[in-house]
């Protein structure tokens, strides 16, 4: 799969997503596509509702209204989507893969079945467990099956040992990629901040996702770490073929690696397109200029690049 070829084939189609908290409308009738094999960025001023969109996609919030269809495997016909929507079920397997309606799935089902993984704005590692353990826990579902739901595991069956060795191999492969192999046996909470961010991404990748959702992955990183992050994300896109949806404030990350950008303001989409398009969209400039004075110069400078 070539990264540079623009693909319009969506992996996730969000339609008319609305989320209300009491009287407050956090997300209002939002529709956008996340393209398969690409990096899509969701940007917007603080409080625009980006994290809410994320929480809806990953099932931590139940949206008030709207449809979020995830196509795993390959492109799906509208007919297939309509069939699931009209059925009481939450997913449908087709010849080319499956359609999942994320709004009908609970958080852990979205990760386990629809294969959408995520990271968190405030890093959520298992701090008291080692780096390696974090990556093994991420492979829980298939390992637990391999352990015969613990029955084979408790007697130390060879099949389980083999599966576990395989899981360790995958974990070590990811540790090599994020440069933390030497710290595999250290508690995750003892890592520096930047390493924790990368470890959280590796942990999410160990679940074998088709779509990776990153909530401000560059927050708190220094420029060198940001550059490393860019490389990592590009390698995930190109090497693993995982589509990425990310929320980010750091424009150097967004503009450099995104194939596609969606801009939110007050829960509504104000722009949608390639980085070049966004850079020149007067609505986007106005949104950023209008919100926070100290961000103005910064944002302008970023957009000029």
Partner 1 sequence: MDYFLQQLINGLTLGSVYGLIAIGYTMVYGIIGMINFAHGDVFMLSVFIALIIFLLISSLVGGLAIAVALILVLIFAMALTALWSWAIERIAYRPLRGSFRLAPLISAIGMSIFLINFVQLVQGPRNKSLPPILDGGFVIPVGDGNITLAYKQILIIVTTAVLLAAFWFVVQKTPLGRAQRACEQDRKMAALLGIDVDRTISLTFVMGAALAAVAGVLFMVQYGVVSFSDGFVPGIKAFTAAVLGGIGSLPGAVIGGLLIGLIEVFWSAYFSIDYKDVAAFSILAITLIFMPSGLLGKPDVEKV
Partner 2 sequence: MANPKADAPREGDRQPVGISTALRDAGFLALFTLGLSFPILAFRTRQDLTQGLVLDPRWELVATVVAIAFFARLGWLVFGGTITQAATAAANAIGQSLEPVAKYKDWFRWAGLAVLIAYPFLAVAFTGASGALKWIDNFGIQILIYVMLGWGLNIVVGLAGLLDLGYVAFYAVGAYSTALLSTQFGFSFWICLPLAGIFAAFWGVLLGFPVLRLRGDYLAIVTLAFGEIIRLVLINWVELTNGAAGISGIPRPTFFGLPFNASDDGFAAFFGLQFTPLHRLFFLFYLILALAFLTNWVTIRMRRLPIGRAWEALREDEIACRSLGIDTVTTKLTAFAMGAMFGGFAGAFFAARLGFISPESFIFMESAVILSIVVLGGMGSQVGVAIAAVVMIGGTELLRELTWLKSVFGPQFDPTQYRMLLFGMAMVAMMVCRPRGLISNREPSIVLNEKRTIGGDLVKEGHG
Distance CA 276, CA 22 (A): 37
266 lies in the binding site for partner 1 (CB under 8 A): no
Decide which of partner 2, partner 1, none touches 89; Cβ closer than 5 to 8 Å per partner kind: none
The smaller minimum CB distance to partner 1, of residues 40 and 51, is found at 51
Residues in the interface with partner 1 (CB under 8 A) total 5
Residue 43: what are its φ and ψ, rounded to 5°?
-125, 170
3-state SS class at 291? helix
Q: Give the whole-angstrom CA distance, residue 129 versus residue 281.
A: 46
Contact between 126 and partner 1 per CB under 8 A: no
Element (H, E) at 10: strand 10-21
- 204 touches partner 2 by CB under 8 A: yes
Q: Per rule CB under 8 A, is residue 104 in the interface with partner 2?
A: no
When the beta carbons of 147 and 226 are compared against partner 2, the nearer one is: 147
- Least gap, CB of 61 to partner 2 (angstroms): 12
Is 200 in contact with 125 (CB distance < 8 Å)? yes
* Distance separating alpha carbons of residues 33 and 282, to the nearest angstrom: 22
Beta pairing class for 260-265 and 268-273:
antiparallel
Q: Shortest approach of partner 2 to residue 51 CB, angstroms?
A: 13
- Interface pick for partner 2 out of 64, 83, 130, 268 (rule CB under 8 A): 130
147 lies in the site for partner 1, by CB under 8 A: no
CB of 292 to partner 2, least distance (A): 29
264 bridge partner residues: 269
Residue 132 interacts with partner 2 (CB under 8 A): yes or no? yes
CB count within 10 Å of CB 264 equals 26
Residues 45-74 within binding reach of partner 1 (CB under 8 A): 51, 55, 60-61
Q: Find the helix or strand (DSSP H, E) in which 214 lies.
A: strand 211-215
Sheet holding 24-35, edge to edge: 24-35, 10-21, 65-72, 97-101, 91-94
Residues in the chain: 305
In the complex, what is the shortest distance from the CB of residue 45 to partner 1, in angstroms, rounded to a whole number?
Answer: 20
Window 58-97: contact mask with partner 2 (x via CB under 8 A): x-x-------------------------------------
Q: How far is the CB of 85 from partner 2 (least distance, A)?
A: 24
**Adjacent-strand bridge partners of 294:** none
Which contiguous run of DSSP H or E holds residue 270? Answer: strand 268-273
Residues that bind partner 2 (CB under 8 A): 58, 60, 107-113, 117-120, 124-130, 132-133, 136-141, 143-144, 146-147, 149-150, 153-154, 164, 168, 172, 184-187, 189-190, 203-204, 207
Residues that bind partner 1 (CB under 8 A): 51, 55, 60-61, 120
């Amino acid at each position: 799969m070539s990264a540079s070829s623009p693909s319009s084939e969506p992996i996730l189609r969000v339609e008319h997503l609305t989320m209300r908290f009491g009287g407050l409308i956090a997300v209002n009738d939002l529709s956008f596509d996340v393209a398969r094999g690409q990096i899509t960025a969701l940007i917007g001023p603080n409080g625009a509702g980006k994290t809410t969109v994320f929480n809806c996609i990953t099932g931590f919030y139940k949206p008030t209204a709207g449809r979020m269809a995830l196509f795993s495997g390959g492109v799906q016909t509208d007919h297939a989507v309509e069939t699931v929507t009209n059925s009481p079920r939450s997913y449908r397997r087709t010849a080319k893969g499956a359609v999942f309606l994320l709004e009908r799935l609970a958080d852990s089902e979205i990760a386990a079945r629809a294969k959408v993984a995520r990271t968190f704005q405030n890093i959520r590692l298992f701090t008291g467990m080692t780096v390696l353990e974090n990556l093994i826990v991420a492979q829980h579902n298939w390992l637990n099956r391999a352990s015969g739901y613990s029955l084979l595991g408790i007697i130390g069956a060879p099949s389980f040992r083999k599966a576990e060795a395989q899981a360790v191999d995958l974990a070590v492969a990811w540790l090599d990629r994020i440069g933390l192999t030497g710290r595999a046996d250290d508690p995750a909470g003892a890592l520096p901040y930047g390493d924790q961010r990368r470890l959280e991404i590796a942990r999410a990748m160990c679940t074998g996702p088709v779509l990776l959702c990153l909530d401000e992955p560059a927050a708190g990183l220094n420029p060198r770490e940001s550059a490393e992050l860019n490389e990592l994300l590009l390698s995930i896109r190109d090497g693993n073929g995982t589509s990425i949806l990310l929320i980010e404030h750091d424009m150097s990350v967004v503009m450099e690696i995104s194939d596609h950008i969606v801009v939110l303001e007050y829960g509504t989409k104000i722009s949608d397109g390639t980085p070049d398009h966004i850079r020149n969209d007067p609505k986007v400039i106005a949104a950023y200029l209008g919100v926070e004075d100290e961000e103005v110069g910064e944002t302008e400078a970023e957009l000029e690049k």
